[in-house]
């Protein structure tokens, strides 16, 4: 949700806005610049409903410092405490590393480009190489407190919105209150750093930490740092087998063969195949989850292909090997080059040769040592070959049928920019909606540069448990795949965001579930890659002659009625088509509310789809009736 900041009206005399002179030149402190240009430092803001929202970036930046200490052999425990409050949240992180040098504590958390991570003798495989991390946390917190413990002494600094309010130093004593606040479970004399902060509501608006997102992040930290324990509100997260544990947890019983695993000095990876469609990868650099992959993931895929080809001594096609693959890869790199401040994609090109060779050799060696698994893999490849041949025939027929219908994709109102159009393409969105009425309102109010509309004729077919060929024989679904650019595979995706926009009624929810079943069954990478969203539109409009409020639930409606008075007019929107184009523009513009569709564990997807979309009608009916009774009670 975009946050609108209030603009103060200046009544004093000042030069005309059109005049460019010395009065227009401003010099901001580094922390003021972070607050003014937040997106440059932490990416999106958000309210905590998306795992990439800014409050999770703040948490990550602080934990990363403790991870860097562990990587350098200092401290095996990081304690995290997060308490959501009605109007904010208090975050506490304590590591048991070396502690920040006491004489430089204030500078290290408040002066950009200050830190020890430029020094290879101190930090060799660090994520935070730009000296910004905790400075951004400091600047974007209404309250920020840091305490460093070193050799029986401590230093403390307290800030508000990046401005220093107090600092002190002293020797540690058993009765010292700062130690109790730090919660030093390893003893009062333990070296390390304690950080406490409250994300600023002036920046983030109303927000709340989602426990599932935090748990996923801490689990990743544990998988990537075997032997490290992360404690969150007292619950420990630890892994002894690294990425092997990650993949075993994600696949459950779905793996066709036991997880393959390799760990070297600079690279670690795990892999297996499932009977699911598509591919799934988890990639990391120096402990940072690179959700958009990068050169290390591309090199891994190439090495994986070459290793399998070398073992079987056959020139299998890459798509036949990779279909159904699930893998995780992590590398350590001294000077990582990320394509953005949020470090989602690695850009180093010089690492490709050694990664390709290391993966090729390790995969071939593992297959020689695990020949039963190799037989399972070979059968999967041969099955993929057969299915690809059959599918190509079906695709050919579908393409020919589509040509007969129209030269243009039916029911698509396209936009100018697409995913491969650089920066503008990253703003591209396609809304999948139901019927001409809803589509009409959206078409009239959309941004024609970045927003496309695809209209469904009605409810699509339930595609659960059907062969992939079936979706190409379904005219409506094939038209939608052409609109998205995924009729061949997900690499052709034309839009950065795929938004499901259906009515907030039973039919709308059913269509939403049918679409999610389709994506999760055949194009799971779109969901796990953070490309699929649900559009939230208001259920109610409460207005008087002077003011109008849009409400997204009954609680907001009641609050609006209480605020505007009993004479206010309340309208319940039954469908998207009832919202006028003028009004709709607000809800797909800068105030758009999107709920990301996420998957906590891949192994849960088949179970959920089987229950809700499968042929278990009696069990589903019993579940619905039971919960209806409970809700009524």
* Per-residue pLDDT tens over the stretch 139-152: 999 999 999 999 88
Can you give the pLDDT at residue 367? Answer: 96
- Please give the structure tokens belonging to residue 120: 């290879």
Percent of the chain exceeding pLDDT 90 equals 42
d(CA 556, CA 533): 22
Q: Which residues contact 504 (CB under 8 A, 6 or more apart)?
A: 537, 539, 573
Can you give the pLDDT at residue 23? Answer: 65
Architecture of domain 243-386: 2-Layer Sandwich (3.30)
Is residue 123 pLDDT above 60, yes or no? no
* Per-residue pLDDT tens over the stretch 44-55: 788 888 888 899
Is residue 7 pLDDT above 60, yes or no? no
Burial class (CB in 10 A: 0-12, 13-18, 19+), 263: middle
Q: Are 102 and 130 in contact (CB under 8 A)?
A: no
3-state secondary structure 135-201: HHHHHCEEEEEEEEEECCEEEEEEEECCEEEEEEEEECCCCCHHHHHHCCCCCCCCCEEEEEEEECH
Percent of the chain exceeding pLDDT 70 equals 85
Average pLDDT of the residues in 440-467? 88
Q: Give 17's pLDDT tier (boundaries 50, 70, 90).
A: low
d(CA 503, CA 517): 18
Determine the number of helices (DSSP H) and then strands (DSSP E) in the chain: 23, 22
* Per-residue pLDDT tens over the stretch 414-434: 999 998 888 888 889 999 998
CATH topology of domain 39-210+231-236: Heat Shock Protein 90 (3.30.565)
User: From 3.40.50.300, 3.30.300.180, 3.40.50.670, 3.20.20.70, which CATH number describes the 406-537+584-601 domain?
Assistant: 3.40.50.670
- Taking Cα atoms as reference points, which of 450, 472, 446 lies closest to residue 461? 472
* Per-residue pLDDT tens over the stretch 491-548: 899 999 999 998 877 888 889 999 999 999 899 889 988 899 999 888 899 999 889 9
- Taking Cα atoms as reference points, which of 515, 488, 495, 518 lies closest to residue 399? 488
d(CA 566, CA 563): 9
* Per-residue pLDDT tens over the stretch 597-621: 887 777 777 777 777 777 766 776 6
């Amino acid at each position: 949700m975009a946050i609108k900041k209030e603009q103060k009206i200046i009544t004093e005399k000042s030069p005309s806005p059109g005049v460019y002179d010395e009065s227009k030149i401003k010099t901001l402190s580094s922390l003021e610049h972070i607050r003014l240009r937040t997106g440059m430092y932490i990416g999106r803001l958000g309210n905590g409903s998306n795992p990439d929202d800014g409050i999770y970036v703040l948490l990550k930046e602080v934990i990363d410092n403790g991870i860097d200490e562990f990587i350098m052999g200092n401290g095996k425990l990081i304690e995290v405490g997060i308490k959501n409050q009605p109007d904010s949240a208090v975050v506490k992180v304590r590591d048991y590393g070396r502690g920040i040098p006491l004489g430089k504590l204030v500078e290290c958390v408040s002066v950009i480009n200050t830190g020890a991570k430029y020094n290879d003798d101190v930090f060799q495989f660090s994520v935070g190489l730009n000296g910004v991390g905790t400075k951004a946390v400091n600047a974007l917190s209404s309250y920020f407190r840091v305490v460093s413990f070193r050799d029986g002494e401590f230093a403390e600094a307290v800030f508000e919105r990046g401005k220093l309010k107090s600092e002190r130093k002293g020797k540690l004593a058993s009765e010292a209150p700062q130690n109790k606040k730090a919660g030093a479970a390893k003893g009062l004399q333990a070296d390390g750093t304690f950080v406490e902060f409250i994300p600023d509501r002036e920046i983030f608006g109303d927000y709340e930490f989602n426990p599932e997102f935090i748990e996923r992040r801490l689990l990743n930290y544990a998988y990537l740092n075997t032997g490290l324990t992360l404690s969150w509100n007292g619950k420990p997260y630890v892994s002894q087998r690294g990425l092997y544990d990650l993949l075993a947890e994600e696949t459950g019983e779905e793996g066709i063969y036991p997880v393959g695993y390799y760990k070297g000095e600079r690279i670690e990876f795990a892999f297996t195949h499932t009977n699911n469609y598509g591919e799934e990868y988890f990639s990391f650099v120096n402990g940072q989850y690179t959700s958009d992959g990068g050169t290390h993931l591309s090199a891994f895929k190439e090495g994986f292909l070459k290793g399998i080809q070398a073992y079987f001594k056959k020139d299998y096609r890459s798509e036949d090997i990779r279909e159904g693959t699930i893998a995780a890869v992590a590398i350590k790199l001294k000077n990582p080059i990320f394509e953005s401040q949020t470090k989602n994609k690695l850009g180093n090109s010089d690492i490709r040769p050694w990664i390709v060779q290391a993966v090729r050799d390790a995969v071939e060696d593992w297959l020689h040592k695990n020949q039963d698994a190799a037989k399972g893999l070979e059968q999967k490849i041969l099955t993929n070959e057969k299915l690809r041949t059959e599918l190509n025939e079906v695709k050919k027929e579908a393409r020919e049928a589509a040509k007969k219908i129209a030269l243009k994709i039916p029911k698509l109102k396209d936009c100018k920019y697409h995913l491969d159009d650089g920066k503008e393409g990253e703003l591209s969105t396609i809304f999948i909606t139901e019927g001409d009425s809803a589509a009409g309102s959206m078409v009239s109010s959309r941004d024609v540069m970045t927003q496309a509309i695809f209209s469904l004729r009605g409810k699509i077919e339930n595609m659960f448990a059907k062969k992939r060929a079936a979706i190409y024989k379904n005219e409506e679904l094939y038209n939608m795949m052409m609109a998205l650019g995924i009729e061949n595979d997900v690499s052709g995706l034309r839009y950065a965001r795929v938004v499901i926009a259906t009515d907030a009624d039973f039919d709308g929810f059913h269509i939403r579930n049918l679409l999610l079943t389709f994506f999760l069954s055949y194009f799971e990478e779109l969901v796990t890659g953070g490309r699929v969203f649900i559009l939230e539109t208001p259920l109610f409009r409460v207005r008087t002659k002077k003011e109008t409020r849009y409400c997204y639930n009954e609680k907001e409606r009641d609050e609006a009625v209480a605020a505007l008075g009993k004479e206010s007019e309340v309208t319940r929107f039954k469908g998207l088509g009832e919202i006028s184009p003028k009004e709709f523009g607000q809800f797909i513009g800068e105030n758009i509310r999107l709920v990301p569709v996420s998957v906590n564990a891949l192994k849960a997807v088949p179970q959920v789809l089987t229950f809700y979309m499968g042929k278990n009608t009696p069990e589903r009916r019993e579940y619905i009736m039971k919960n209806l009774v409970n809700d009524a009670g």
